[in-house]
């Protein structure tokens, strides 16, 4: 077809397409090759398991579809995942019924013919009566080819016109050759030796029936692989009870706008992301975070779309609607990730690119060898062997081996609150041998409190100044100081005006000016840098640090004014989670900006293998590099913001957070709950997924490595046995079904921490 000139925008964007007419890994390779040649196209990820393509490009969607059409296939854009999933389910259901009907048609004729032959009925032509009878059978078989196998021949013709070859090519050549040879025997038996007048109408009908049956069963098995995305889509709410002008209106969730007030009654799903204005309740967030315990929510707390309201009725203000909600972002991220391929798939891609043409060449060579060197009647052996090679060698199993397991693995991770960005992160997570942990908010609870305080000055406005200095900061230590200052400040010590010259010094603290006074608040490094004498606090600071307190100093001008001991206890499950890392064979390293004594106390309590303290963000980055230089595969667990450089440098970055507070786009893998068990769960799921992929690839390679030589007649000199094309058809169908069934075992995998 003649294509229009490409029209592209300045910026790249992601386009997701549903592919039509794709039947095997060869088709995928053809489309991928065509799209990759387009200018301003950064990446093309095609998932053979669900027949979708995710393209990062500056090209317009219409031009992408035209490109796919130009190589013999079709596509349409996916704009709404929910709608697309429903259409896919409906389409698969219709296709399943159609293939089952075609299977009945083929097997309905093929089985009686095969039984007739097995019971001793002659399958050749020697008399006029036999010629007439078999002519009728041949015409019936042709009708079967037309009714039940037409799509194979149409697909093969399209591939041929576009100078490609795919699974349809192999099936069309195999069944077409068997039928055509049989018709030549029926019409012109006198021109063939008597021993070469064997008929293969039963093989033609059986192969068409069996392959349709196999594809129907494969289709049904594949349908179960997308259950994870369907579960996420089912969390979306269709309507919301919106309060406008004092009236409660039931509106479609698409009509809700930011700022709307929404009432959510007991037992209902929350329709949008918002903030609770009235009432209190217990919210079940397990569908998003994987955290089984419900969370208490009251006025001022945030809630997320898709979570379930418990007993109380609440009124919330909509803050994020439509595609901006956390749930919508998760659905988009999981859907996109399921389209990606782990690096292990490259070998399968390279093989499938040349597979079908190679099989056709092997089939021709097989035919020539049998014709020239085989026993008499050589024509019969040639047809059987060449047809069997074509039929048994379908590359479907190879094409399904990786994407179907990837889809299930990434979906399974989402069930446990882990959002894996792509297939590469999935594979790398299974290869980790070192896990690096940030301290604050990762090993510890991330909710520090001031547990010790000592003043070295008679000034009464010290706590007032600290509150003024730290206001607006959302750093956990700053929040602890503000909370303490607010509760213990001297109400009579008025602080007028505001601070100026505020400066945040990374890894040290803050400094500012208040009137004529210079204010310093931070760690020991900051005090030393400004020549503050700390001798009076040394013994006290050392004692507090030994008790796992972070010591913070406050100085005005050149004098130390106060000392704070801030405690951030380790998470209740941190020690158990770190023990799981050890069971998984991981070396656990803690990196922190905190002081040496505090870090040591936390490290001993949590039982990490190594720790390094008093580190700046750049120092954490350097430590990651050092560990990688030892040949280790490193995973870094942090908050996704302060640890951004280290997360980016690590082989796999885990952004760990609490529910909706987590930044979804900040790392290779994002944990929607704050527990380190989530990291261990994802590593376990990744390992199970990669093991499953390797089983599938091994099975697919072994199947083709053994199946093709056996079909070609490798065992004939030893056993006198030649594989029937019917058996080849059964084997081909079973190979795909086996791969899909094995992949579906992942749906029942549960990480050990959840097996209690």
Measured CA distances, 711 to 67, 358, 696, 732 (Å): 37, 15, 21, 11
Query: 301 catalytic, yes or no?
Result: no
For 675, phi then psi, to 5°, come to -85, 140
Residue 536 is given by DSSP the state G
- Can you tell me the distance from the alpha carbon of 371 to that of 364, in angstroms, rounded to the nearest whole number? 10
Measured CA distances, 463 to 466, 508, 522, 563, 565 (Å): 5, 20, 14, 11, 14
Measured CA distances, 355 to 68, 287, 361 (Å): 21, 42, 10
Tokens of 707: 């199946």
- Can you tell me the distance from the alpha carbon of 373 to that of 382, in angstroms, rounded to the nearest whole number? 10
- Can you tell me the distance from the alpha carbon of 105 to that of 208, in angstroms, rounded to the nearest whole number? 9
For residues 439 and 594, the answer to whether their CB atoms sit within 8 Å is: yes
Tokens of 215: 């594809």
- Can you tell me the distance from the alpha carbon of 243 to that of 264, in angstroms, rounded to the nearest whole number? 11
- Can you tell me the distance from the alpha carbon of 434 to that of 457, in angstroms, rounded to the nearest whole number? 47
Measured CA distances, 441 to 113, 302, 657, 753 (Å): 72, 19, 8, 21
For residues 616 and 506, the answer to whether their CB atoms sit within 8 Å is: yes
What SS3 class is residue 688? helix
User: Which residues make beta-bridge pairs with 302?
Assistant: 275
Pairing status of strand 8-20 against strand 261-264: unpaired
Measured CA distances, 11 to 53, 58, 421 (Å): 19, 6, 22
- Can you tell me the distance from the alpha carbon of 13 to that of 15, in angstroms, rounded to the nearest whole number? 7
* Catalytic position from the list 45, 260, 273, 438: 438
- Can you tell me the distance from the alpha carbon of 666 to that of 677, in angstroms, rounded to the nearest whole number? 19
CA dihedral 541, 542, 546, 552 (to 10 degrees): 30
Residue 668 is given by DSSP the state S
List the one residue out of 443, 357, 458, 348 whose CA is nearest residue 396.
Answer: 348
For residues 425 and 669, the answer to whether their CB atoms sit within 8 Å is: yes
- Can you tell me the distance from the alpha carbon of 519 to that of 495, in angstroms, rounded to the nearest whole number? 14
Tokens of 540: 């006290």
- What DSSP string describes 288-348? HH---S-EEE-TT-EE-TT-EE-SS-EEEEEEE-GGGSHHHHHHHHHHHHHH---GGGHHH
- Can you tell me the distance from the alpha carbon of 332 to that of 338, in angstroms, rounded to the nearest whole number? 10
User: Which residues make beta-bridge pairs with 74?
Assistant: 20
| Count of positions (residues) in the chain | 756
Tokens of 8: 């592209």
DSSP H helical segments within 200-242, as ranges? 201-223, 227-234
DSSP H helical segments within 308-461, as ranges? 326-339, 346-373, 378-392, 396-400, 403-415, 423-430
Measured CA distances, 55 to 43, 210, 420, 535 (Å): 6, 35, 18, 63
Tokens of 468: 């003024």
- What DSSP string describes 144-201? HHHHHHHHHHHHHHHHHHTT---HHHHHHHHHHHHHHHHHHHHH-GGGS-GGG-B--H
Active-site amino acid positions: 438
């Amino acid at each position: 077809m003649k294509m229009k000139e490409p029209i592209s925008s300045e910026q790249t964007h992601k386009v997701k397409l549903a592919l039509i007419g794709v039947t095997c890994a060869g088709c995928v390779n053809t489309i991928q090759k065509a799209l990759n040649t387009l200018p301003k196209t950064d990446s093309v990820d095609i998932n053979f398991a669900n027949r979708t393509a995710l393209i990062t490009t500056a090209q317009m969607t219409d031009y992408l579809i035209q490109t796919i059409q130009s190589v013999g296939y079709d596509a349409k854009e996916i704009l709404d995942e929910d709608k697309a999933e429903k259409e896919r389910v409906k389409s698969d259901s219709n296709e399943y019924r159609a293939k089952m009907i075609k299977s009945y048609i083929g097997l309905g004729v093929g089985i009686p013919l095969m039984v007739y032959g097995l019971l001793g009925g002659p399958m050749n032509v020697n008399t006029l009566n036999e010629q007439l009878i078999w002519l009728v059978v041949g015409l019936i078989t042709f009708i079967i080819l037309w009714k039940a196998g037409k799509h194979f021949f149409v697909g093969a013709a399209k591939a041929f016109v576009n100078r490609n070859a795919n699974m349809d090519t192999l099936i069309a050549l195999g069944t077409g050759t068997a039928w055509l040879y049989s018709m030549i025997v029926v019409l012109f038996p006198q021109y063939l030796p008597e021993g070469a007048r064997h008929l293969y109408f039963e093989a033609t009908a059986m192969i068409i029936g069996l392959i349709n049956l196999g594809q129907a069963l494969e289709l049904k098995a594949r349908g179960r692989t997308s259950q994870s995305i369907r579960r996420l889509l089912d969390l979306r709410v269709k309507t919301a009870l919106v309060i406008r002008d004092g009236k409660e209106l039931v509106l479609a969730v698409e009509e809700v706008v930011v700022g709307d007030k929404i009432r959510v009654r007991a037992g209902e799903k929350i329709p949008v992301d918002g903030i609770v204005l009235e009432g209190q309740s217990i919210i079940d967030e397990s569908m998003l975070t994987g955290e089984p315990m419900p969370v208490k929510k009251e006025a001022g707390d945030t809630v997320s779309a898709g979570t379930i309201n418990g007993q109380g009725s609440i009124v919330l203000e909509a803050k994020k609607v439509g595609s901006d909600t956390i749930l919508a972002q998760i659905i988009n991220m999981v859907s996109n990730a399921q389209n990606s391929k782990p690096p292990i798939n490259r070998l399968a891609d390279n093989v499938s690119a040349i597979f079908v043409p190679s099989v056709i060449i092997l089939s021709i060579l097989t035919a020539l060898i049998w014709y020239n060197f085989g026993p008499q009647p050589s024509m019969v052996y040639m047809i059987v062997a060449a047809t069997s090679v074509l039929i048994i060698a379908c590359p479907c199993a190879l094409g399904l081996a990786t994407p179907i397991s990837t889809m299930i693995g990434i979906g399974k991770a989402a069930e446990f609150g882990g959002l894996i960005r792509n297939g590469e992160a999935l594979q790398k997570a299974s290869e980790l041998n070192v896990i690096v942990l940030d301290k604050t908010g990762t090993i510890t609870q991330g909710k520090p409190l001031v547990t010790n305080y000592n003043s070295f000055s008679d000034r009464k406005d010290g706590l007032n100044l600290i509150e003024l200095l730290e206001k607006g900061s959302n750093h956990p230590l700053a929040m602890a100081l503000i909370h303490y200052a607010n509760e213990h400040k001297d109400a009579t010590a008025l602080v007028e005006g505001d601070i100026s010259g505020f400066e945040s010094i990374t890894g040290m603290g803050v400094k500012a000016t208040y009137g004529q006074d210079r204010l310093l608040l931070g760690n020991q490094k900051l005090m030393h840098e400004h020549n503050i004498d700390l001798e009076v606090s040394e013994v006290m600071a050392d004692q507090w640090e030994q008790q796992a307190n972070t010591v913070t100093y406050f100085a005005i001008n050149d004098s130390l004014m106060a000392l704070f001991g801030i405690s951030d206890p380790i998470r209740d499950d941190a020690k158990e989670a770190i023990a799981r890392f050890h069971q998984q064979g991981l070396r656990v390293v803690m990196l922190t900006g905190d002081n040496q004594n505090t870090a040591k106390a936390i490290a001993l309590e949590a039982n990490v293998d190594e720790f390094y303290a008093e580190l700046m963000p750049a120092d954490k980055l350097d430590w990651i590099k050092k560990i990688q230089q030892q040949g280790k595969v490193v995973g870094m667990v942090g908050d996704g913001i302060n640890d951004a450089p280290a997360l980016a440098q690590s082989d796999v970055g885990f952004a760990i957070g609490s529910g909706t507070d987590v930044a979804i786009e900040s790392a290779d893998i994002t944990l929607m709950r704050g527990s380190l068990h989530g990291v261990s769960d994802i590593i376990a799921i990744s390992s199970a997924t990669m093991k499953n992929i390797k089983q599938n690839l091994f099975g697919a390679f072994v199947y083709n490595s053994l199946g093709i030589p056996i079909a070609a007649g490798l065992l004939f000199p030893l056993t006198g046995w030649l594989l029937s094309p019917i058996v080849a058809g059964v084997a081909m169908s079973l190979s795909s079904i086996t791969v899909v069934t094995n992949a579906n075992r992942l749906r029942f995998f549960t990480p050990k921490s959840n097996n209690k």
